[in-house]
Amino acid sequence: MHLAQLNVAHLRAPAHSPEIAEFIAALGPINAISDAASGFVWRLKESNDPTETVKHPYGDLLLINFSVWETRESLWNFVYRSPHLEYLRRRREWFTRVAEPYSVMWWVPEGHIPSLEDGMSRLDLLRAKGPGPEAFTFKDFHEPS
Amino acid sequence: MSGDDLDALGALRDPVRRALYDYVAGRDHEVGRDEAAGGAGVGRTLAAFHLDKLVEAGLLDAGFRRLTGRTGPGSGRPAKVYRRSRREHQVSVPPRDYRTLALVLAEAVEELGGEEAAEAAARRAGERAKAPGLREALRERGYEPYDDDGGAIRLRNCPFHVIAEDRPVLVCAMNLALCEGLVAAVGEEDLAPRLDARPGECCVAFSKNKPD
């Protein structure tokens, strides 16, 4: 099984505005690190232009990251043990604080590319019912059954 | 405190064992018996005996690896190699448990959105350091600094490992702020701390400020 992760963030201003420019400029290098990382399988992209964020029907200020990894460790090492960590540390400069969960994981069969609708419903499930085998987090991790 | 932890640390009372442990713990690779013996300045048989005692105590992990890089028939038996165990041992007399309290406080900080205040407090804690230099200040706090090939100081150990695994963004941000405070306290402002996280190490590295 492979591990899918969906992660949403609420931008403080539209993606093309000057307040967000530094973050948008970092997408190229950070995506390159993700795509070259050990255990990386797939990432949802709008196009090959890294500054073009994923388009979706969930609101213009919602930024979506959606990817599939071979293991928990490979995803953890990209998120927290790579230059990505510095952008997480500075997240408040570009994103508003949200009280509810903004990141969800679940297991998918190898070779399966999950849909964004599936990901958003997993996030809803996590928000409504808390972590479980169908929708979980790093902190409340579930191994594949 | 568990009796096992006390027994584990008791294994370090022997000076040869302590020297072997320090040598293996300070390497960035798995160490064979010959290398460890040379590093600690003792014979190979004695080193092998004490290395295995350290494994029994849970302070080192052992594995087998071909040290020659050759494979296949004729490449010899794989050698026994050692590395520092990831297990933590804590002994406090009387028993104290600051780790649980730190986990609880970290959760509260995130719930309250108090990350900036936590970073500021960490920076102040660093600014109170009294050490004569940055490396000493780092060693006193358990960071295990070493010089990397690019002229930066990197840190082999994360002193806050358990809490950092639980709340990585909060703890790494506080760690960076603490290191900024240390640099200011010891007056080595030409060494700029920044987040440069890698698997298996502390998230902070110090690089020389170059004039632009």
C-alpha span between B88 and A35 (Å, rounded): 33
Residue B125 within any structural domain of the chain: yes
pTM: 0.90
Range of the domain at B20: 3-84
CB contact under 8 A, B166 and A89: no
ipTM: 0.92
Same domain, B31 and B120: no
Residue B202 within any structural domain of the chain: yes
Same domain, B64 and B109: no
Check CB contact of B197 with chain A, cutoff 8 Å: yes
Among B38, B59, B84, identify where a domain stops: B84
Among B84, B108, B132, identify where a domain stops: B84
**Domains contained in chain B, number:** 2
Q: For residue A110, count other CB atoms closer than 10 A to its CB.
A: 10
Provide, as residue numbers in chain B, all residues whose Cβ is less than 8 Å from the Cβ of A85: 168-169, 172, 195, 197, 203
Same domain, B57 and B109: no
Residue B89 within any structural domain of the chain: no
Same domain, B108 and B139: yes
Same domain, B109 and B200: yes
Among B37, B61, B84, identify where a domain stops: B84
C-alpha span between A18 and A24 (Å, rounded): 10
Q: What is the pLDDT of residues B165-204, one digit of tens each?
A: 999 999 999 999 999 999 999 999 899 999 999 998 999 9
CB contact under 8 A, B169 and A83: no
Same domain, B76 and B34: yes
Same domain, B47 and B144: no
Q: Which of B31, B83, B27, B28 has the alpha carbon at shortest distance from B55?
A: B83
Provide, as residue numbers in chain A, all residues whose Cβ is less than 8 Å from the Cβ of B197: 80-83, 85-86
Break chain A into its structural domains and give their ranges. 2-129
CB contact under 8 A, A97 and B172: no
Mutation site, A74, A75, A81, A96, interface B, largest B CB count within 10 A: A81
Same domain, B65 and B105: no
Q: Which of A63, A82, A58, A72 has the alpha carbon at shortest distance from A106?
A: A72
Same domain, B68 and B131: no
Residue B52 within any structural domain of the chain: yes
Instruction: Give pLDDT, residue A99.
Output: 83
Per-residue pLDDT tens digits of chain B, which is 212 residues long: 456 888 888 889 999 999 999 999 999 899 999 999 999 999 999 999 999 999 999 999 999 987 666 666 666 778 999 999 988 888 888 989 999 999 999 999 999 999 999 999 999 999 999 999 999 999 999 999 999 888 899 999 999 999 999 999 999 999 999 999 999 999 998 999 999 999 989 999 999 876 54
Same domain, B66 and B102: no
Confirm if B81 and B32 have CB atoms less than 8 A apart: yes
Same domain, B17 and B60: yes
Check CB contact of A82 with chain B, cutoff 8 Å: yes
Instruction: Give pLDDT, residue B28.
Output: 86
Instruction: Give pLDDT, residue B68.
Output: 64
Task: List, in sequence order, every residue forming a beta bridge with A62; answer none if it has no partner.
Answer: A10
Chain length of chain B: 212
Residue B90 within any structural domain of the chain: no
Assign domain A2-129 to a CATH class: alpha beta
- A137 to chain B: nearest residue by CA? B166
